[in-house]
Structure 1
């Protein structure tokens, strides 16, 4: 089993989502002794896509400039980590009712026509099928699945767009109202998680 662990929280050692991703990975490794983990901390910086990215990556020039090649290499590296993984464990704290900007940037980097999805006569088709995604969702005040939650549906949609339809959530939500209860809900979900 190959696990890709993604963290995106800006709160360092105070991060609940980082603790959850570590706990999820530990559970998976305990049940799968041969599991290999690739770790990516998006808080270290994920370039946002822009005009230069579009011209280098999306338009894919035959002879890219050195600067274009750097943009291509970065995007390819993110995508390859996902392609190689059997399980994605993604930490998604909720900031202002949505996912962190760096997590959005990462999704934009791997949204590659012909590589992570393709357009067919029947509509878009994800090309990263057969993978499992476990989202470590943490929020001070945004309940998972509520009308205020613009993150979980988006994550489920984007992963599904890539062909990853086996998506589960381990949620520590409403932490600002009752931290202990929120952490207990996450622990219960973690215990029910199949390894």
Structure 2
């Protein structure tokens, strides 16, 4: 059975572009898959704690007792189970200071383990075969030829780390750029481009949700 894991990470509860985009995709996906499973985790509202040494050591060698607390063990198992059981993973990821929110990094840190790593020379791993949609929002633009080309540490990092654990077989990034043009006077001339980028993101997500 198809199953959607929906992750939000924006610290904004209202006015969040990534929440808007991820909600739109999830609604369309659930409409197109009425019998599919659905799991939601809000990392903005309920952040996953930064990884501890005990958690890290237990991921590297789960056969030994590393002093993991019951709460740490339960959370790690829940996060891993949610990803393993999903056929589609949806990530709403805003750009904060040219990179991803630390909450997404904490979530990823529970997934990167020897059990999930794709071995050198191997075609797949335990998490391979899933569809992964990353809906992002960026205040500016990082396209070729723009003043901040090369400043994007959001997509390149996510593409690399998700690939390392087999989550890049069908990985799609959908960007809404120039979102700050709606509120920053100095960017007012770019507002039409920002609106078009957001509209295009919705159109793309609608197609991906089929």
Category of TM-score, reference length = shorter chain: 0.7 to 0.9
Report which stretch shifted further, 184-193 or 11-20. 184-193
Task: Find the counterpart in structure 2 of residue 190 from structure 1.
Answer: 205
Tell me: CA distance 1:190–1:144, structure 2 relative to 1, closer, same or farther (3 Å). Answer: farther
| TM-score normalised over the length of structure 1 | 0.87
| TM-score normalised over the length of structure 2 | 0.82
* Structure 1 unaligned blocks of 5 or more: none
Q: 1:1-195 counterparts in 2 under 5 A?
A: 1-43=2-44, 44-60=46-62, 62-63=64-65, 65=67, 67-114=68-115, 116-117=116-117, 119=119, 122=121, 126-143=125-142, 146-164=149-167, 165-177=169-181, 178=191, 179-193=194-208, 195=210
Q: How many angstroms does 1:95 deviate by?
A: 0.3
Task: Find the counterpart in structure 1 of residue 184 from structure 2.
Answer: none
Q: How many angstroms does 1:37 deviate by?
A: 0.9
- Over the residues paired in the alignment, what is the CA RMSD in angstroms? 2.2
* Structure 2 unaligned blocks of 5 or more: 182-190
Greater percentage in strand: 1
Q: How many angstroms does 1:194 deviate by?
A: 5.0
